[in-house]
Amino acid sequence: MSKLEEIVSLCKRRGFIFPGSDIYGGMAGTWDFGPLGVDLKKKIMDEWWKFFVENHDNMYGVDAAIIMNPRTWAASGHIATFADPLVECKECKSRFRADKIADNISESVTTEEFLATRTKCPICGKENWGPIRKFNMMFRTHVGAVLPDDDETTVEKNVAYLRPETAQGIFTNYKNIVDTIYPDLPFGIAQQGKAFRNEISPRDFILRDRECSQMEIEYFVRPDTWEENFEYMRKMQHEFLENIIGLNSENIHEFEVPAEDRAHYSKRTIDFMFDYPNGEEELMGLAYRTDFDLSNIEHESGKSMAYRDKNTGETFIPHVIEPSIGVERLFLAVLSTAYAEEEINGDKRVVLKLPENLAPYKFCVSPLLKNKPELVEKAKSVYSQLRNKYGNVTWDDSGNIGKRYRKQDEIGTPKCVVIDFDTLEDDTVTIRDRDTTEQIRAKTSDL
In a domain, 140, yes or no: no
d(CA 208, CA 53): 27
298 and 408 belong to one structural domain: no
pLDDT tens digits for range 394-425: 999 998 999 999 999 999 999 999 999 999 99
State the chain's mean pLDDT as an integer. Answer: 92
d(CA 9, CA 149): 47
Determine the pLDDT at residue 155: 59
Determine the pLDDT at residue 368: 94
266 and 393 belong to one structural domain: no
366 and 439 belong to one structural domain: yes
In a domain, 171, yes or no: yes
Structural domains of the chain, count: 2
Determine the pLDDT at residue 138: 86
Determine the pLDDT at residue 154: 63
| Spatial CA neighbour of 46 closest among 213, 253, 284 | 213
d(CA 433, CA 415): 5
Q: Is residue 153 pLDDT above 80, yes or no?
A: no
398 and 319 belong to one structural domain: no
Lowest mean pLDDT of 21-25, 73-77, 123-127, 381-385, name the range: 73-77
259 and 400 belong to one structural domain: no
d(CA 280, CA 336): 12
Determine the pLDDT at residue 374: 94
253 and 377 belong to one structural domain: no
- Residue 387: which pLDDT band, with cuts at 50, 70 and 90? very high
Determine the pLDDT at residue 205: 92
206 and 279 belong to one structural domain: yes
pTM > 0.85: yes or no: yes
282 and 379 belong to one structural domain: no
Determine the pLDDT at residue 296: 93
Mean pLDDT of 185-198: 95
320 and 247 belong to one structural domain: yes
Determine the structural domain holding residue 42 and report its residue range. 3-76+166-335
pLDDT tens digits for range 421-439: 999 999 999 999 999 999 9
Q: Is residue 341 pLDDT above 90, yes or no?
A: yes
- Whether 407 and 417 have beta carbons less than 8 Å apart is answered as no
pLDDT tens digits for range 232-286: 999 999 999 999 999 999 999 999 998 887 877 888 999 999 999 989 999 999 9
The per-residue DSSP string of 54-123 comes to IT-TTEEE----SB--THHHHHHTHHHH-EEEEEEBTTT--EEEHHHHSSS--TT--HHHHHHTTPPPTT
Lowest mean pLDDT of 107-111, 171-175, 181-185, 315-319, name the range: 107-111
- Residue 446: which pLDDT band, with cuts at 50, 70 and 90? confident
In a domain, 107, yes or no: no
Determine the pLDDT at residue 77: 84
Q: Is residue 342 pLDDT above 80, yes or no?
A: yes
CATH code of the domain containing 324: 3.30.930.10
pLDDT tens digits for range 103-151: 888 878 899 999 999 999 989 999 999 999 888 888 888 888 776 677 6
Determine the pLDDT at residue 394: 96
306 versus 157: the higher-pLDDT residue is 306
316 and 219 belong to one structural domain: yes
